[in-house]
Amino acid sequence: MVQVDTKIQNKKNPIINSHRTYNEIVQYLDENWGQTKNFMAISQLDEIFGNLSKKLNIAIVSGTSGKSTTIHFTCKLFKEENLKAGAFYTPHITLYNERFSINENYISNTSFTDIANKVIQTAQDNKIAATSKDILTMMALIFFHENNVDVAIFENSSMYGLDPVMYCNPKISAVTRIVANSQDEDTHAGITNIMTMITPNSHFVSADQNKLNLQIMAQLAESKGSIWSMPIRKLAPLQYPFEQLHGRCAALAERITRIYIDNFSTSHGKVQVADSLLNKPKGLRGRPTLEAKKVAEMTPQRTIEQFWSEVVTTLPSRFQLIQTKKSNILLDNADNLDALSNLFLGARLLCYQQDYKETSLIIACHEGQFDNEEFIKQARYFFKKSSGSIAFCPTIPTTVGEKTKASWDVVKITNAAKTAKIKAKAYANFADAFNAIKTAHNNAESLIVITGSKSIISEYEKYKETIAE
């Protein structure tokens, strides 16, 4: 259990005056979302609970897209190395529990409820104006500390604003890639913002391929006294089609793990390091010698290449393919142009691999979520390569963080798609769109892609529950 620092002056101990149930906590969190304007709340909570952000080995992953996938692969690799990795994801799709995991196991309802009660009551007792983001971040710190994780990996959800995880003193900062979502977004400003959390002697690594972005990152890292690691160049050899889709995220995960083991691991002894997948035996580095090849053939050992060839992503709603005898459904919560571009690539590769004859895209987005003209260009290119159509439907504010966001104008975007000679139709809601698509293309040779926002993924999950009942 977490011990509260009793030496802190003018602070009340976090005594639980009223124990909320799991559902009451969910309701409390749903009602207390707000914009993070500073780190005052999370810093006060962290101080009361004993400065846990300074006691954990923390890595933070930022970027336009690929953050959750990178963290997911990192956790798989840490588990393979017999290390305990905690992951704090954002957002969740159906349950808050999805945000917290240790070695790929989600937090239980009991632990979630107990920790949430501690943090919420502490905030109220000490009159701390904590938003749900502050509370969830503090919960993650407590959860990981109580379970003695070797490393805690946090996802930074904000490119141009503040996220409480940015307060958490990362020893490793990683960036997937930085891409503007519209003409109004300044990638330089985004890079500068996410690098405000960099501290002296911490490590920084990026998988971005833009030379200007990398130059800016390198300069900022150097100015802050951070240790700059060479950018990711090669893709990890994942199974087809995931090498092209997630290979760079996996390679970034491999580098994060390597940096941790080399610099921060206390549980890895010399024997363990020698047996690590990340260490190639002498003679096999670079161009292997004939003698080394013979030894490897006689005494085969599991390699990092074998690991990547076997590993698959099991993250819900992140390029999640659900196959049945009558339908193939691809779920992806892509909500920006970069993520959608990657999704279109993956869907196209799946069509080549599985020989799908028809691809139907069901998409719901928020107003101003991205440049609609650029989206239409992406969709037009996709449907030049793949036969199919788009079903546009409105978002419904059912998921956390989207309650104040207006839906896009489905009629307007549908007309824009038709003008670009894309087969498209507007629907009043997701259920109507899904039923229409399933009726027309309910066979094993068709692919239904559901994407655009967390809202539409939630609608699909609710639809499944309704059908099951």
In angstroms, the CA 122 to CA 13 distance is 7
Superfamily of domain 320-468: Mur ligase, C-terminal domain (3.90.190.20)
Q: Are 117 and 25 within 8 A, CB to CB? A: yes
pLDDT score recorded for residue 300: 66
388 phi-psi bin (left φ>0, alpha ψ -120 to 50, beta other): left
Size of the chain, expressed as the number of residues it contains: 469
The DSSP secondary structure of 305-336, one letter per residue, reads: HHHHHH-----TTSSEEEE-SS-EEEE----S
Partnered with residue 203 across adjacent β-strands are: 172, 227
pLDDT score recorded for residue 6: 33
- As a three-state string, the secondary structure of 37-82 is CCCHHHHHHHHHCCCHHHHCCEEEEECCCCHHHHHHHHHHHHHHCC
pLDDT score recorded for residue 180: 86
pLDDT along the chain (469 residues), means of 10: 35 55 95 92 98 97 96 96 95 93 96 98 96 97 97 94 94 95 84 93 96 96 95 94 94 96 70 65 59 66 88 89 88 94 94 91 92 94 91 79 76 96 96 93 89 92 73
Q: Are 60 and 126 within 8 A, CB to CB? A: no
The number of angstroms, rounded, from the C-alpha of 460 to the middle of its chain's C-alpha atoms is 20
pTM, to two decimals: 0.89
End-to-end CA distance of the chain: 40
List the domain boundaries for the chain: 22-255, 320-468
pLDDT score recorded for residue 377: 95
CATH node for 22-255: 3.40.1190.10
Q: Are 70 and 98 within 8 A, CB to CB? A: no
For residue 54, the tally of other CB atoms under 10 A from its CB is 10
Q: Are 48 and 5 within 8 A, CB to CB? A: yes
Separation in Å, CA 80 to CA 83, 84, 104, 277, 301:
7, 10, 12, 8, 14
